[in-house]
Amino acid sequence: MILPRPVSFTRGDGEIEWDGTVDGRISLDGPPGSYRVTIAAAPADGSAVVVEAADDAGFFYARQTVNQLAGPDAFRAAPIHRGPIRLPVCVIEDAPRFAWRGVMIDVARHFLPKHDLLRYLDLLAVHKLNVLHLHLTDDQGWRFESKRYPKLHEVGGWRPSSRYGDRRSGGQTGRPHGGYYTQDDLREVVAYAARRHITVVPEIDVPGHSQAAIAAYPELGVSGGGVWTDWGVNPNVLKADESTVDFYRNVFDELLDVFPSEVIGLGGDEAEGGDGRFVRRIAQHLAQRGRRPHGWDEVLDVGPLPTRTVIASWRGEEAGLTALERGHDVVMCPEKHVYLDYRQADDPSEPIPVGTVLTWEDVYSYEPAAADRVLGAQANLWTEHLDSPRRLDYAAFPRLSAFAEVVWSPAPRDIAEFRTRLTEHHLPRLDALGVEYRPLSGPRPWQLLPGVPGFPR
Ligand code: TNX
């Protein structure tokens, strides 16, 4: 029933009537995030539901689990039934498999309004995911308010048009797109996430994927140009001179002021012709400020980085294994297994089919390489082709539900058993939450995008 599957679930006889209360204590001698839920007839002076947790996070995860036992309507925004809720008599013991159970959302290619970002934090919490990696800047948009360099968000925060579909054959929307978060918006996002035991890891991408910043301050770039209206790898990169590095030190200082996360992303991906010194110096700057730099696996090629740098291994797991050898911590996010922008079926009618086929079964079958310094794994939602929260829902779910189980629950996995839990228990929860997931049988008619070209690999 429960998703992600707990370490153990022992049913007793019958059910109890629950008044909605929980007796909780932080008393469990277990790993961070672990908990035990005991449901039995209520004692005279207490609740029928007793939670013992190792820490506040464990207590929070126990609440998510009890909600699941209460049925899908527990996930609605307000109760729709009167009377007590029935819960099974049981004991559940549980603990997370990985410390980093992440999702990246690319809010640069398409802006996700703050309200929808908060909703995604709710959805992550339901799945016991605990890291939101926010990709805040790219060629197509700059989403972080800068007090010191306001043209970053004023000029870099919007573009006059967007490629519609894959760049090889797609047209243009001809419609302006933009948006940015104020620093206070992001403080609110961070605080909202913290209440759900989610850490927000921000990323400002350097020295590639920087056209939006270059549009705002042309002196930063090797060449000029406006905010990009195309997808793909842009050859224009940041200059590696002292004044550009200084500019970015100041921008990162503003970022550090908003985001308390120890880990801070500097990107570093797909920067052909980019100077490795740039990444090294920003990494050093972050380390000097007491933070841990985080970069995509290309940063392994720029020369020595602070050992505490976290590497996101996306072009497969090999780079991650190399990073481990060099003493880095690693987050696994191999595109073949966890790129949720990739098409969900080998069917031309999938909306804007890009990448390789990645079904929910493929995601569920992913086994991250296990090693001490593998912090965990992360699913990535790149948004070139996900231009609205509805499109994001379609790409994210139910694959993200399968991913949540991979990072929370220990192997072995039984895909048939997962499918039963998904269809009988979890999709109804997503329905109650109003998530417009891709039905297992294929897209609903209004989820199709006929005529918008993709580029299947
Ligand atoms: C590669 S993964 C990228 C992104 C694209 C994505 C599309 C990574 C570090 N870079 O810029 O959005 O592919 O799937």
pLDDT tops 90 at residue 273 = no
Q: How confident is the model at residue 253 (pLDDT cuts 50, 70, 90)?
A: very high
Question: Candidates 138, 270, 386: which one to mutate for ligand 1, based on the most atoms within 8 Å of Cβ?
Answer: 270
Rounded to two decimals, what is the model's pTM? 0.98
Atom of ligand 1 nearest to the CA of 333: 2
Tell me how far the alpha carbon of residue 203 is from its chain's centroid: 12
Give the Å distance between the CA of 20 and the centre of ligand 1: 44
Using alpha carbons, list the distances in angstroms from residue 280 to 249, 299, 303: 12, 9, 8
Structure tokens at 89: 């008599």
350 Cβ below 6 A of ligand 1: no
Q: Which residues contact 41 (CB under 8 A, 6 or more apart)?
A: 16, 48, 89
341 Cβ below 6 A of ligand 1: yes
pLDDT in tens, 131-190: 999 999 999 999 999 999 999 999 999 999 999 999 999 999 999 999 999 999 999 999
pLDDT tops 90 at residue 376 = yes
Closest CA to 7 of 92, 67, 130: 92
254 Cβ below 6 A of ligand 1: no
Rounded (5°) CA angle 418-422-423:
120
Instruction: Please give the full DSSP string across 80-147, using - where no structure is assigned.
Output: ---SPEEEEEEEEEE--S-SEEEEEEETTTS---HHHHHHHHHHHHHTT--EEEEE-EETTEE-B--S
If you take atom 2 of ligand 1, which residue's CA is the nearest one?
Answer: 314
C-alpha to C-alpha distance for 265 and 276, rounded to whole angstroms: 16
**Stretch 275-301: mean pLDDT, rounded?**
97
pLDDT tops 90 at residue 223 = yes
**Stretch 64-76: mean pLDDT, rounded?**
97
pLDDT tops 90 at residue 361 = yes
pLDDT tops 90 at residue 332 = yes
Report the DSSP pairing between strands 292-296 and 163-164.
unpaired
pLDDT tops 90 at residue 274 = no
pLDDT tops 90 at residue 240 = yes
C-alpha to C-alpha distance for 388 and 377, rounded to whole angstroms: 25
pLDDT tops 90 at residue 323 = yes
- Could you give all domains of the chain from N- to C-terminal order, each with its CATH number? 8-94 (3.30.379.10), 100-417+429-456 (3.20.20.80)
Question: Candidates 382, 383, 385: which one to mutate for ligand 1, based on the most atoms within 8 Å of Cβ?
Answer: 382
Looking at per-residue pLDDT, the higher value among 219 and 83 belongs to 219
Give the Å distance between the CA of 203 and the centre of ligand 1: 13
**Stretch 17-38: mean pLDDT, rounded?**
96
Q: Which residues contact 170 (CB under 8 A, 6 or more apart)?
A: 163, 164, 452, 453
Tell me how far the alpha carbon of residue 20 is from its chain's centroid: 30
55 Cβ below 6 A of ligand 1: no
Query: For position 272, what pLDDT does the model report?
Result: 87
If you take atom 13 of ligand 1, which residue's CA is the nearest one?
Answer: 382
Query: For position 397, what pLDDT does the model report?
Result: 99
If you take atom 7 of ligand 1, which residue's CA is the nearest one?
Answer: 382
What is the average pLDDT score of the chain? Answer: 97
Residue that has been written with the tokens 């993709």 in this structure: 454
Give the Å distance between the CA of 382 and the centre of ligand 1: 7
**Stretch 326-336: mean pLDDT, rounded?**
98
Contact 269, 202 (CB under 8 A): no
Using H for helix, E for strand and C for coil, what is the string for 363-385? HHCCCCCCCCCEEEEEEEECCCC
pLDDT tops 90 at residue 84 = no
**Stretch 207-215: mean pLDDT, rounded?**
98
Atom of ligand 1 nearest to the CA of 269: 9
**Stretch 328-344: mean pLDDT, rounded?**
98
Give the Å distance between the CA of 106 and the centre of ligand 1: 9
Q: How confident is the model at residue 83 (pLDDT cuts 50, 70, 90)?
A: confident
**Stretch 394-421: mean pLDDT, rounded?**
98
Query: For position 57, what pLDDT does the model report?
Result: 98
75 Cβ below 6 A of ligand 1: no
**Stretch 305-311: mean pLDDT, rounded?**
97
Q: How confident is the model at residue 380 (pLDDT cuts 50, 70, 90)?
A: very high
Query: For position 28, what pLDDT does the model report?
Result: 97
Contact 230, 170 (CB under 8 A): no
Atom of ligand 1 nearest to the CA of 106: 12
pLDDT in tens, 193-206: 999 999 999 999 99
C-alpha to C-alpha distance for 346 and 339, rounded to whole angstroms: 15
If you take atom 8 of ligand 1, which residue's CA is the nearest one?
Answer: 269
**Stretch 366-382: mean pLDDT, rounded?**
96
Give me the active site residues, please.
138, 209, 270
Instruction: Please give the full DSSP string across 35-62, using - where no structure is assigned.
Output: EEEEE-SPPTTS-SEEEEESSHHHHHHH
